[in-house]
Structures are given as structure tokens and as C-alpha cells.
A and B are shown apart, each in its own frame.
Chain A
Amino acid sequence: MSITYLEAICAAQARALAEDPRVFIYGQDVGAFGGAFKATKNLAKEFPGRVLDAPISEDAMVGAAIGAAMEGMRPIIEMQFADFSTTGLNQIVNQAATLFWRTQVPCPITIRLPAGGTPGGGPFHSQSLEAIYAHYPGLIVMTPATAEDAYSMLLEAVAIDDPVIFCEHKYLYYHCKAEGLPTEAMPVGKARIDRAGRDLTIVAYSAMVQDSRAAAEELAGEGVEIEVVDLRSIKPLDTDTVVASVARTGRLLCVGEAWPWGGVTAEVIARVATEGFGLLDAPPQRLNSKDTPIPYHPNLWTAHRPTVRSIAAAARNLLRM
């Protein structure tokens, strides 16, 4: 029976609640309503008193999670949209991220960020903020691209003794499916070769893996074999797998839906340039969204972010270099 990325997230939370009495979920509308995207559907009923509606107070939501974690709990915080996590930024980056380093007391909290664009989302319901969180020491940042990873990585996020920013893509919620729940998984921190190839490496994460794979299929028709690397987590970032792929292909294109400035694609290129400069047959390239707020109208939105078409075009361009 197939399962969507969103159902996988709900199932992972149900399993975490069932298996670990330390787990609770706290967020806006997550209780009886089941969450804005229904990622906590039926959980309040199944686990009475452990799935709590929060006031619209992102700062206090995260602060309370930190206090509960100090007491040995394993809270999962649902931000209604990744965009709203910035009103809880202080607690995440200054309190949660520094706690272990300052005191040796771990801070096992999971903050779920429904991230990324959907048509009609507009400037404040579309953001991809992984780079901001990855910038701060003390946080783990996961960006699953498949329903299998959404499930297994969320379970691992809850089990990890550090604060985890779990970026789940809203487009993948419904448009990404698995045959069933996975029974085994790669460890967090390891990137995955999504598609093997010999001519060019595309490094992507989250929803851009799907689009990069589609672009690779398109180019396969032109006799080009593209390798797609799914980073899975951007912090830690699996430099070794990326460099090994570039060693095979000699060409690197990094694709990210987030804004370009100082982001994940820049970090990947910096690492490959530092550690694998001699492996490159052409200048490393990257493709990000445009450096503007995210537009509302689908015509503008599809031009704003990387698409299968623009990824394929960037790959063709790089192959000519």
C-alpha cells in the first residue's frame, strides 16, 4: 500500500509517541484539529494529553520544549509554516543550540518546519530556511527528499540528543509517495546516490531531488548520464559522498530552492573547491531561487525557483563548458 510523504510524517510521529513515553507534540492546531496540513491527524485522540495545542507563540513554544527536554522529555514542535519559525528564532539559535555546549546537558528537541514553495503560497508561506539554521553551531538540519526518509529521519530526529530542525517540504507532502514504510534506513549524515551517472553531478536536497532526477531523465534521452546526490541532511553535510561523485563525473551543479546568498549550494561548492578542486573539469555551478521575496502568482513563482526545465538547461550549459 502506498504512503505519501505527509502520511509518513504522521506515521513516524505516531510511532514515536507509541514507543517513547518521553515524546509529546506541541504546536498550533496540532490537537483535535490534526494540524494545518493534518500531519498530526488523529494523534491527539490516540495519545490523549500528549498532543497539545499551543498559543500563537513560537518563542514560548520552543522555550517550553527546551525546558521539557532538560527534564528528559523528547518534544516535537510543529511550526505551522517554516516561515513562522523566525519568531521563535531566538530560542532555537541562542537557547537550544547553545545549551549542550554551555552546560553538557543535551537538548533533544525536534522542530518540524513545513517548508518550501507551493503555487499561491506567496512570500510568507513558502520559505526554505535550512541555511539560516545550519549557520548556527549546535543544530542538526534534516531535509528529507523521499517519503521513506521523511519517516525514518523523523524517528531518528526524535532519538537524537541534539536539537533537530526537520525541514519537510510541503510540495512533497502530497506529490511524493513510497510503496510502504521503510524497515531500514541509511544513517543521518550520509548522502545518498539517488541516480547514478558519469557525466555530471547534481547535488540537491528536499524537493529539488525530485526535480533534478526528472531533469536527469530528460538528459538521459540526449545520451548524458547525470548522477544525482541527495544530501538528506544539510548539517551534517556529507562532503565525502559529494567529492567522490565529483571525482567520477568532473562536473558539479548544486540545486537548492532556497535563496542563493551564503546558502547550502554555496557551502557545497566551497567544500568541493577546497577539497576536490583538481577533480573539476569545469567551474562548479549552482542554481537557486531568485534573490527576491517569493512571489504569489504561479506564473511568477515557477520562474522564481529552479524547475525541471531550468535544471536541465543549467546541466546542458555546464556540459558545454
Chain B
Amino acid sequence: MVLARLLDEKMASLYRGGKIHGGVFLGRGQEALSVSVGLSLRKGDVFAPLIRDGAGRLAFGEPILDAVRTYLGSSLGPMRGRDGNVHRGQPRRGLLPMISHLGAMISVVNGVLMARRFKKMSGDVGAACIGDGGTSTGAFHEALNQAAVEKLPLVLVVANNQFAYSTPNERQFACANLADKAAGYGVAAHEVDGTDLQACLQIVGRAVALARQGGGPQLVVAQLLRLCGHGEHDDAHYIDARLKASPLGRDCVQAAEERMWREGWADKETTRRWRQEAAQLLEETVAKVQKEPAPDPYREDWRPLASRHLIERFETYPVLETL
């Protein structure tokens, strides 16, 4: 969580310094929920994170290099400058690279789980993360229904951060609680305070365990507040100060740290050292990536197909002539 928070802050600072092409999207306020998903999964599971899941990605095992390289557009990163920021992943390692269209990754996780079933592999879980806004898409509906029909071990985690970009919950859905939707699909529902790390670990962990045991799809809905704009270009002026001062606006990282001090699990010196170590790792990673080569349009392989023999020459020549 600390590393994810500091990574976000570093990327935001690079963004303000004009060092990042495109946007920067933070997970500030969602780390407790996100990290719980990553920690509840194990090797062999599949994870489709969304834009505010930096913590979950790290916990699932995504190297921090992948994040920094993708944000900075390094040609050595998993996306090699072809895609940026949060649109990264390593499908071969169970980490699916999100596309921007909300809800679209859920059925892809379903497909991975269906393939595992075809291959007689059991015991693996698939997790997909989404926000309150994403629950309004047709893709969300189709995929959750599909998972229920196929009785797949899918854990769908909804971070209700109260706003989809600037649109508040009351303009997004009309049910009393997003968890109520689960009954309509015939899937189990779990609710959790997304600002409370221990509660998130417990509830998400339980949902993952139930899915693993053959309990079918699980819908987890967490209440929390996005403690930042939609992206770093957005000052989030539309978020009411009263909401920020409410329990929803509690900073989950700070709350977890205070809890550890209170319980005597870690003292202030220890948590300070964690921050320091995380900050150092980040500085080293960013320094390393900044020296890496940017993609070269002259050396880029502009062929969009795996079937090399089916590439049309028409698809490859124009770039050489226009550059």
C-alpha cells in the first residue's frame, strides 16, 4: 500500500513536470481494497485490475518496473510504448491488460476461467475490479450474468468511490446499494468498508475462498471515497467537503498505519523505514527507466497481426514515407 501510494505520488509529480505523455490516474483512497484483492489471489489465479489498482497489481506480483516503464513509455516495458499508464499487463502471468471500455475485462476473465475448466484445471480464481460507474455498462451486466450461468469462480470487486469521473452515485444508479444487484444475478454479495484494511482483507479473502471452493461468482462492494481527481488533470472540485470529512473520506493508508501503531504490530520507526525503502526503490526505478530507450518509429514493427504471412504491404509502407 505504501509503495503504491508513493508510486502514485511519484507519477503525479512526473506528470506535473511534463515528463509523462497522456494522463496519470491514481488509486489514492482505494489502496486497502485493491491490495486485499492482490493479496487474496495466488499464483495461477487471474486478475483484471482497473485504473485505481496500483496496490492490487503490486500485491499480485506486477513488478514496479512494469508500472514505471509503461507510464514513461519505455520500449523495454510490457507495452513497449504501444499503450500507456494503467493499460498494462502480462496475460501469460495472469495479469490482464485493461482496455479503457469499462466492464469489458470481466467477460475476458470469465473466458480464462472457462478455458481452465476445459483443461480440467480446478482451484483457480479470477478477480476483476470495477467502479460504481462501470456497473452501469451493458458489459458488466452481460459478464456477471454469464459468470453466474457458467458458475465460474469469479470475484467481481466494485469500488464504490462515489463518483464516476464527476458523476455522483445518484446520477449513476437508483438501487439502494450496489450489492443488492447480486441477488438479481443469483450470485453472492459481500459488503465492506473500503477504508478499513483489515475488513477488506477479511471480506475479499472470504469471497475469494468461497469462489475457490466452488461457490460460484462473488460480488464484493466496498464503500470508499476517491481521494483525488479522476486523473491528475482533474482537481475534483465537485467533491463536497462534507463528504471528504465523513468516515468515507478516511485515508485508508493512514488508518492502517495508525492501527498498526495502536496494536503494536509496528512502531513509527518501522513504518517510517518502510516509506523510506519504498521511496528509495522508486527513485532507483525511475532513474533506471529514464535512461531506457524510447520506442523508435523507424525500428518499430508496425505489423498488427501474429500471422506474419497475412500482413498486407499496404499496412506497412505508409509510415516510412510520411516520417
Contact = CB atoms under 8 A, between A and B. Distances in A.
Interface of A: 24, 49-50, 54-55, 57, 59-73, 75, 87, 90-91, 94-95, 97-103, 105-107, 137-138, 140, 160-162, 187-189, 235-237, 239, 271
A90 B115 contact: no
A57 B141 CA distance: 9
A64 B309 contact: no
A137 B115 contact: no
B299 interface: no
Contact of B307 (A24, A70, A140): A140
Given A103-B79, A189-B310, A67 B99 contact: no
Contacts of A50: 118
Interface string B296-323: 0000000011110111101100000000
Given A94-B101, A103-B89, A60 B107 contact: yes
A88 to B, nearest CB: 9
B101 A68 contact: no
A65 B143 CA distance: 12
A101 B108 contact: no
B310 A188 contact: yes
A55 B111 contact: no
B115 A72 contact: yes
B142 interface: yes
Q: Which 10 A-B pairs have CB atoms at the shortest separation, nearest pair first?
A: A67-B111, A63-B107, A71-B115, A64-B111, A60-B142, A57-B142, A161-B306, A67-B108, A60-B107, A68-B115
A142 to B, nearest CB: 11
A142 B92 CA distance: 29
A241 to B, nearest CB: 13
27 contacts: A54-B146, A55-B142, A55-B145, A55-B149, A57-B145, A60-B143, A60-B146, A61-B107, A63-B143, A68-B112, A68-B114, A70-B111, A71-B115, A90-B139, A100-B305, A101-B304, A102-B82, A102-B83, A103-B79, A105-B91, A107-B306, A137-B315, A138-B305, A160-B307, A162-B310, A236-B311, A239-B312
Interface of B: 78-79, 82-83, 87, 89-92, 96-97, 99-101, 104-116, 118-119, 138-139, 142-143, 145-146, 149, 304-307, 309-312, 314-315
Could you tell me the dominant secondary structure of chain B's interface residues?
A: helix
A123 to B, nearest CB: 22
Contact of A103 (B78, B111, B118, B311): B78
Given A138-B304, A161-B307, 19 more contacts: A57-B143, A59-B139, A60-B107, A60-B145, A63-B105, A63-B110, A65-B111, A67-B107, A67-B108, A67-B113, A68-B112, A90-B104, A94-B100, A95-B99, A98-B99, A105-B91, A160-B310, A187-B309, A189-B309
Contact of B110 (A67, A72, A75): A67
Q: Which of A63, A73, A236 is packed against the most chain B CB atoms within 10 Å?
A: A63
Contacts of B114: 64, 67-68
